[in-house]
Amino acid sequence: MSTGLTFTMRNQPRAGVAGAVPGFATVTLTPEPWRHYKVEVRSAPQTFSARVWPEGQWTPVVRDRTADRVVSGELVWRPPPCSVASAER
């Protein structure tokens, strides 16, 4: 049974760096019993350094820690959700 997980990022811009809208990214996940997962963020090193996460320049992925593999599905950028099961970073 598939579940949608929606994420957003919190900007903490370094001095001199302009902010940006991080947007909401939804990935699908079909969780399986007795497995543990973790959420990772993929982005360019400069984004990590700037600590500003413009929409489209970061990607959430869910890793199955038991099997050590990425298990999340297609990413969709969407408007702010009403109901989220988010793991805000």
Partner 1 sequence: MTARATSRWILVALRAYPPAFRAQFGGDLARTLDDAWRARRGRLAARTAARLQLLATTVSSGLAERGVAVSRLTWRSHRPHLYEPAGRHASMWDSLRFDLAAAVRGLTSARAFTVLTVLALALGLGANSAVFSMVNGVLLRPLPYQDPDQLAMVWSENPRLANETNPISPANFDDFRRMSRSFESLDYALSFIVRVGIQGQEDQGVVQVLRVGPTLLPILGARMQLGRLMGPDERDVAVVSDRAWRTRFGADPAIIGRKIVLSGNESITIVGVAAPEFVFPLRDMLWQAGTTTPQVADLWIPMPMEGPRWVLRDGTLIRSTHALMAIGRLRPGATAAQASAELRAHAQTLADRYPDSNRGWSARVVGLHAQATGSMRVGLSALQGGALLLLLMAAVNVTNLVLARSIARQRELAVRSALGATARQLVRQALIESLLLAGLALGLSTVVGVWLLRALVALAPATVPRIADVGAGVETWAASAGLALAIGIALAIVPVWVAARTDVRGALQDGSRGAAGVSRSGGRLRTTLVVAEVALAVVITIQAGLLFRSFTSVVTTHPGFQTENLLTFQMTTPDRLTAVEAKRAFYDDWFARLSTLPGVTAAGGTTRIPLGSSSVTTSARVEGNTNAASSLPEVEFRRASSDYFRAMGMPIVKGRAFSPADRPTDPAVAVINETMARAVFPGVDPVGRRLQIGPDPTGAWITVVGVVGDIRHNSLEVAPPPEMYIDMRGNPPNGPFMAVRTAGDPLALVETIRGLAKSADATLVISDFRTMSDLRSAALAERRFVLTLVSGFGVLALLLAVVGVYGVLALVVAERTSEMGLRMALGAAPATVVRLVLRQALTLTAVGIGLGLVVAAGAAGVTRGVLVGVTAYDPLTYVSVPALLLAGAALAALVPARRAMKADPALALRV
- Binding stretches for partner 1 (CB under 8 A): 1, 3, 5, 12, 14-15, 29, 31-46, 48-49, 51, 62, 67-70, 82-88
Rounded Cα distance, 6 and 75, in Å: 10
Q: How far is the CB of 77 from partner 1 (least distance, A)?
A: 18
Rounded Cα distance, 24 and 9, in Å: 8
Q: How far is the CB of 84 from partner 1 (least distance, A)?
A: 6
Q: How far is the CB of 47 from partner 1 (least distance, A)?
A: 9
Contact 40, 60 (CB under 8 A): yes
